[in-house]
Amino acid sequence: MPGKFRKAPTKRTASTKRPVSKKRSIPSMRTGRKPSVSVRIPSKVTRRATNVRRASKRVVRRQAVRAQAQKIQPRPRPVVRPAARPTRRMAKKPAPPPASLRRTASRSARRAAPSGPPKHLRRSEQMAAGAAATAGALMALNTVAAPEAISSGVNALQNTLNELQRRSDFSEIIAELNNLDTDINHALNLLESGRERGYVYQSDLEDIAYSAADRWQTVRVQVEDAIPDQQAAFQSSLDSLNPNIRRLNASLRGANASNILKTTQEQANQLLWDLERAETALENNYDDIESDVRELTSRLTTIHWALDQIQEARFSLETGEDLVMAVPTRWDKEGKDDPEGVLYLTSQRLIFERKEKVATKKVLFITTSSELVQEVLFSQPLKNIKGVKAQNKGLFGHHDYVQITFSDKKLGTLDLHINGQDSKDWINLIQRAQSGQIEEERTTGSGIALSDLTGPLTTGDLMAVQNEVNELQDEMMLKDTHDDLSEVENKVSSLKRELADLRARGYAVEKSLEADIDVLAAQWEQVKSRAESTISGQVQLLSRQMEAIQNDLAKLMGMSANLAAARPHYVRLKSAIASAEAQADAAEDTVLDLYDEYADEVDALATHLEWVDWLLEALATASFRLLNTESGVAAVEAAWLRPGLEPENGILFLTDQRLLWEDRDGEYQLEIAVPIQQVSDVTEISDENADFDVIAISFEGGDAPVPKAEFQLALPVADDWQEMIGRARAGDYAKDRAVEIDEAELERVRKAPKQCSNCGAAFTAPILRGQTDITCEYCGVVTRI
């Protein structure tokens, strides 16, 4: 389904108008929420030390790239995937939730798992250990004995029952409590080690940390107290399902099986709704705490990276001079040899240190030897800065630049390309440092002490940090990036095969698709080679850092007999791990930048082919058949809104010759089949705040059952349907065919009779390709073409 999707219809289903939870997917069969944008940020984005702010910014940048690409392509392609295949029936009431629409990703799955055993057994863990004892058992459905007519419904109901059984003990909430405990301890570790290493600014970090930890002590107890009551109440409701399950099993092959299945499914759906609301109510107690902890971890990870850079720098800070922030930077000069390094902002100076590997020996243009070059290219007092300006450059404006004007005429105005941080944030930092306002953010104490909140170092801490180092190994090897590159390669190699299948099934328009795929395939080897070469170089650098961490871990484990003496070494190791994670993030960003936009194009094309497959599947299951040489263009689930009548669910089809709507409630029936030339107007009548897009289509001529029809679309694609219908009316799709239409067929249409041989009345309806006869609208006589 081509289109640029403006808003997601997530509030209620098209058929039932039932409110939808904002947090999770619901048991709705067809008209669901907008599928998420297809991005390939590896799964480690949600690990504890990931810079969430940078990752989020990368997502926004990718969406901006796609939006720009859609403006310059002759035919926009989708950025979402169809939620499910078109089915044989579209129910008016909530249908069984397919596996893909069950709770898509619990928050416990979205976060990294705890890095090791906790310091003591929390009450929530004791609750989790006894959860299985409190959870009752639902009867199983006899899915094997279900007749074919209702087997899909029985299987879907069993999926719902499995979901209810799995979540009825609220074990996911219990896991979230334990994970948040781990996340808070990790953030406090980062804060303590950062202050010990000498970072004195951003005093609000302590406020956020203390506030989150203090609120968490109270909220955790409240949630833990509420869980047993919720378990008992929901279990009682769950038991009420068993009588209906028993009845259904006993009458699977009876005449009343469909009614019992429908009643049981509705009851199960209602229970799933109740469970969603109960879980959401519990999560609302600690949502704000979780958000604060993620922000705290993100900021502290960036700070640790900056501290690592200043520690490795070839210059020293002056007495009374403190680091404010650092960022990877390229000095944008004319020519190819723009120096790369780190831009440092201190309380007194702005410093740019070149820090990059340069080739010292090449054989046939391949670097065989290199060395690290570090040198300060400028170091200017803040008072010498005359002006600063944030800029966004690049083809799509996603490169952050800081333009700085110095009073030193040798420097003048410089353009500095910063990576991974916002240029506007840096302008604010420089201005605050110049004015002295940055000193208001100086911490007044010695920094937060983790022991004040978590107690002394324990053997559990040592086991946890050992597990953390083990998990770090894959990150330092850039395993996620390797896997992502392989996924892109698989998609590229399958595009040609998928398109050939769609052509064989009758998709005849968009003749440029073959060329688009050939271009992507031709580009892939070069993109892959550059990415793999960069991965190899980055892994080599990260491996040395990983080796040092493993050595530090061995020393720490050797001190396990004296935990008090081991604590300073433990803090240094935690800081090194945080720094390594930041370096891994930066390395991953470097690789992703090499193929991000290319992979977005592959994703967009692959998703477009999925929509075409959905269209062809809908046509294959329809009650009508396309005319000879007629090709489908698009399809979308749409409810026909008739004044004074119940909305009817169906599918709206667009071909290169006709607009059709088929009723899919019960038996299929084609209600509207109008030549595209008789569509006189298409207007979106829903506003920007509406839950669903609604379009009004006006018809002229005698082939439409009504002069105007309003359709509520299951996806936010009203703008795209206006555009596509306009293209069909202009004949663009007929011109954009991959296989040209036989001239004899066109000649047959041109020479078709113009009036009825019986009554002499003129034929007013357009003659379509593949049409075999014309029925006179006055006398009803059929004339063969």
Average pLDDT of the segment spanning 759-777: 70
413-430 pLDDT tens trace: 999 999 889 889 999 999
Query: Which of 453, 448, 447, 449 has the alpha carbon at shortest distance from 119?
Result: 453
The amino acid present at 171, given as its one-letter code, is S
More confident residue, 684 or 146: 684
Helix H or strand E encompassing 495? helix 479-504
Mean pLDDT on 368-396: 83
DSSP state letters, 574-642: HHHHHHHHHHHHHHHHHHHHHHHHHHHHHHHHHHHHHHHHHHHHHHHTSSS-PPTT--EEEEEEEEEE-
Statement: residue 488 has pLDDT above 60: yes
CA–CA distance, 420 with 301 (Å, rounded to integer): 12
Find out whether 647 and 641 touch, Cβ atoms under 8 Å: yes
pLDDT at 590 over 70: yes
Confidence of residue 490 (pLDDT cuts 50, 70, 90): very high
Residue 107: pLDDT band (50, 70, 90) is: very low
Give the sheet arrangement for strand 679-684, strand by strand.
Answer: 669-675, 658-663, 648-655, 632-641, 708-713, 694-699, 679-684
Using CA atoms of 276, 280, 282, 286 in order, give the dihedral in degrees to the nearest 10: 150
Question: Are the C-beta atoms of 117 and 227 separated by less than 8 Å?
Answer: no
- pLDDT of res. 450: 54
Residues 402/393, Cβ–Cβ less than 8 Å: no
What is the per-residue pLDDT for 304? 94
Q: Is the pLDDT of residue 28 over 90?
A: no
Distance CA 655, CA 729 (A): 10
**How many Cβ atoms sit within 10 Å of the Cβ of residue 519?**
12
Model confidence at 635: pLDDT above 90: yes
Residue at token pair 């058949």 = 625
Structure tokens at 193: 């080690």
257 pLDDT above the threshold of 50: yes
pLDDT of residue 742 exceeding 80: no
At 459, the pLDDT band (50, 70, 90 cuts) reads confident
Where is mean pLDDT largest: 135-149, 483-497, 754-768?
483-497
Closest by Cα among 470, 547, 567 to 192: 567
Beta strands 773-775 and 782-784: pairing type? Answer: antiparallel
Tell me how far apart the alpha carbons of residues 313 and 149 are, in angstroms, rounded to a whole number.
Answer: 73
pLDDT at 68: 45
Q: Rounded mean pLDDT of 640-650?
A: 91
- Secondary structure (H, E, C), 209-271: HHHHHHHHHHHHHHHHHHHHHHHHHHHHHHHCCHHHHHHHHHCCCCCCHHHHHHHHHHHHHHH
- Residue 294: the pLDDT is 92
Residue with tokens 């948040």: 180
- 371 three-state secondary structure: strand
Residue 25: predicted pLDDT: 28
- pLDDT over threshold 60, residue 558: yes
The residue type of 405 is T
Vertex 665, ends 663 and 670: CA angle to 5°?
A: 20
Look-up: residue for tokens 């069969």? 29
Rounded alpha-carbon distances, angstroms, from residue 380 to 345, 405, 407, 612: 10, 11, 10, 59
pLDDT tens digits for range 507-557: 989 988 999 999 999 999 999 999 999 999 999 989 988 999 999 999 999
Separation between Cα atoms, residue 28 and residue 9, nearest integer Å: 13
Percent of the chain whose predicted confidence (pLDDT) is above 90? 31
Residue ranges and CATH numbers for the domains of the chain are 96-311 (no CATH), 323-441 (2.30.29.30)
HEC-encoded secondary structure of 166-220: HHCCCHHHHHHHHHHHHHHHHHHHHHHHHHHCCCCCCCHHHHHHHHHHHHHHHHH
Provide mean pLDDT across the span 390-414: 82
Report the range of poorest mean pLDDT among 89-98, 163-172, 558-567.
89-98
Q: Between 255 and 765, where is the model more confident?
A: 255
Is the pLDDT at 694 greater than 90, yes or no? yes
pLDDT of residue 73: 40
Higher pLDDT, 109 or 306: 306
Mean pLDDT of 282-286: 91
CB half-sphere exposure, 403, CA atoms < 13 A: 8
pLDDT tens, 75-100? 444 334 454 555 433 333 333 333 32
> How many residues appear in the chain?
785
Residue 707 DSSP SS3: coil
Q: How far is the CA of 489 from the CAs of 327, 475, 494, 520, 687, in angstroms?
A: 32, 21, 9, 11, 41
Residue 743: predicted pLDDT: 65
Q: Does 330 or 6 have the greater pLDDT score?
A: 330
The answer, as to whether pTM is greater than 0.75, is no
The C-alpha atoms of residue 124 and residue 108 are separated, in whole angstroms, by: 14
- Rounded Cα distance, 592 and 476, in Å: 15
Q: How confident is the model at residue 772 (pLDDT cuts 50, 70, 90)?
A: low
Report which of residues 742 and 213 the model is more confident about.
213
Q: In this predicted structure, what is the pLDDT of residue 299?
A: 94
- Token output for 342: 């780190």
pLDDT tens for 178-191 read 999 889 989 988 99
Mean pLDDT computed over 635-654:
92
What distance in Å separates the CA atoms of residue 517 and residue 602, rounded to the nearest whole number? 9
Confidence of residue 104 (pLDDT cuts 50, 70, 90): very low
Does an H or E element contain 417, and which? strand 413-418
Secondary structure (3-state) at 759: coil
Of 90, 36, 91, nearest to 652 by C-alpha is 90
